[in-house]
A and B are shown apart, each in its own frame.
Chain A
Amino acid sequence: MSPIFYLLAALTIGGGLAAVLLKYLVHAALATTVAFAGLALLYLELDAQFAGFAQILVYIGAVAILIVFAILLTRGSDLPKDGVFSRTWALGLVIAAAVFAVLGWAVLQSVRAVPQQTAVPAVTVRDIGNALVGRYVLPLEIVALLLTAATIGAVIVAMHEKERPR
C-alpha cells in the first residue's frame, strides 16, 4: 500500500465524516465535494483515468452545484432550532455501525481469496469508446433515455404550479 493511498483514503473518509457531522448544510455540501474529489483521486490511483475524470465532471461539476442550489432554494442555510439530528439518531448510528461491521468482517475474512497486485491494465479511452458503442450500446441508449426522462421529470416536479383557488 502506497502512502498516497492512505492520504487519499483519509481525505475521502474525512470529507464524508465532515459532511455527515457538520451543522450547517452549506458546510456539509462543501465537505461532500471534498469526499467526491478524494474518490476521483482514488479512481486515478486505481488507473481508471476515464472514471476519475467522469467523477470530477459529474459529481464536483454537477451534483455538488445541484446540492448547493437546492440548499439555497429551500433556505436550508439557516440552522434549525431543534438540532440537526433526528430523534432516532441512536438507532441510525447502530444500524450504520452494524453494516460497517458486517462489510469489514466480510472483507477481512476474504483477504486471502481476493486477487493480489496485478499489472496495470492497458486500457485507453479509445477502448472505452469502442466498448460504449459496441458491446454496451444498449445500456448507453437506455441511460440516454433515462437522463432525458429524469431531466424532464425534475423540471416538471420542481416547476412552479399555478395558484389554485382554495
Chain B
Amino acid sequence: MTSVGVSTPLAGYLLVAAMLFAIGLAGALVRRNAIMVLIGIELMLNAANLNLIAFWRFGPHPELLTGMMFAIFAIAVAAAEAAVGLGLVIAIHRHTNTTELDKINRMKG
C-alpha cells in the first residue's frame, strides 16, 4: 500500500476494494468446499460495496445519496443471496452427502 498512487484517499479505498475482490475471487476459484465458494462470493460483493461507498463519499454530489442507496440495496440483495445459497448447499449435502465441489459431478456428461 506504499505505492506512489495512494496519495489521494479515494485511490486507497479503491485499491483495498480491488485487493479484497481478488482475494474473494481466489477463494471462490481455489477452494473445494461449496461454503467457501459462497464466502468468496460474499467477499467480492463486499468489495463492490466498499467501492460504491467510497465513490459516494468523494463524489461531487454526496447529498443525492446515490452510491449509499446502491450499497444499502446491494447489502439487502447479498443477504438474500446468502440465504438461498446456503439453503442450496444444505439441500445438495442432503442428496449427495458431500459439499466438495469436485465430487458433485452428477450432471457431468
Contact = CB atoms under 8 A, between A and B. Distances in A.
Interface residues of A, number: 85
Contacts of A136: 69, 73
A20 B43 CA distance: 10
A29 B39 contact: yes
Nearest to B95: A161
Interface string B32-60: 11011011101100100110011011111
Nearest to A73: B90
Contacts of A48: 53, 56-57, 68, 71
Contact of B13 (A46, A84, A146): A46
B51 to A, nearest CB: 10
A123 B62 contact: yes
B8 A19 contact: no
Given A39-B46, A116-B8, A154-B87, A100 B19 contact: yes
A108 B65 contact: no
B25 A96 contact: yes
Contact of A58 (B22, B53, B69, B79): B79
A99 B79 contact: no
Contact of B39 (A19, A50, A55): A19
A62 B82 CA distance: 9
B89 A70 contact: yes
13 contacts: A16-B20, A39-B20, A43-B50, A66-B82, A67-B86, A92-B30, A103-B22, A107-B5, A121-B57, A123-B62, A136-B69, A139-B73, A158-B91
Cβ-closest 5 pairs across A and B? A92-B29, A100-B22, A121-B62, A150-B80, A96-B26
Interface of B: 1, 3-16, 18-33, 35-36, 38-40, 42-43, 46, 49-50, 53-54, 56-60, 62-63, 65, 68-69, 71-73, 75-84, 86-91, 93-94, 99-102
